[in-house]
Structure formats: C-alpha cells, structure tokens
Structure 1
C-alpha cells in the first residue's frame, strides 16, 4: 500500500517524480527539511526557500487540498 501511495504521489507532482524510484520519492518529497510552527491554534509549515523540490512539493500539497470539482449533471 505504501508503494502505491508513493507512486500516486510521484504522479501528482511532475514528470520527473512520476518515473522516480521509491528511494528518490522518499528523499525528495517525504523527508522534508521543514519547520513546523504553531500560532493561534494554526499550524504553519515553513519550507526552505532554496529547496530544489519546493515547487513539486507545493504543487502536490495544492492538488491534494483543493476541493473536488463538482460533478456535471446532464
């Protein structure tokens, strides 16, 4: 199950991570060098500014946290 979740993660980020190995996905997207801060009951994740996979990670986060599109009625 973890393998399938990593494959889906890679497919949601970009073309490079779609074909990447499991170890590469773990190194680039799972082991995130971030700082977690709490303020006023909200959690904030601070990613490094010059982290090479910042765009891939934020794209993955945005695609997972957007509401699903409404189904079209015919």
Structure 2
C-alpha cells in the first residue's frame, strides 16, 4: 500500500513539472510570435469588446488564406 502512494506522489510531482514546462513553452511561443510580428495579440484582446455581428473581423479569412498559399508556393519554389 505504501509503494502505491509513493508512485502516486512521484507521478503527481512529475506531471506537475511537465505541465509547468508546457505552460512556459506556450508562453514563450506567444512571446516569440508577438515579437517577430506574425501575430498582434492586442488586436485579439479586443474581440471581447467588439463582438457584434457587424463589427470588422480581426483578420480577414481571405487575406489569411492568400498569405498561407503564398508561403506554400515559396516553399515549393513556385513563384
């Protein structure tokens, strides 16, 4: 019975450490993408305030689609 409790304690500790590492990795990812200019998260922060049906979207879907297609063409060597 005592060994099961030890396994649970070790499992809980390592799982907590794993979740902390994942959290810090995600925070670093957000920071890096904000810093490089890929995303402007301040625009996304306004979504809660500007959520009416007639408000302007943060990113136009067609612009995002064009951007992704352009990146794919550049990677494939098609210009």
User: Is the TM value for this pair above 0.5?
Assistant: no
In the superposition, the TM-score normalised over structure 1's length comes to: 0.32
Larger proportion of strand: 1
User: RCO higher in 1 or 2 (8 Å CA, sep ≥ 6)?
Assistant: 1
Bigger Rg, which one? 2
More helix by share: 2
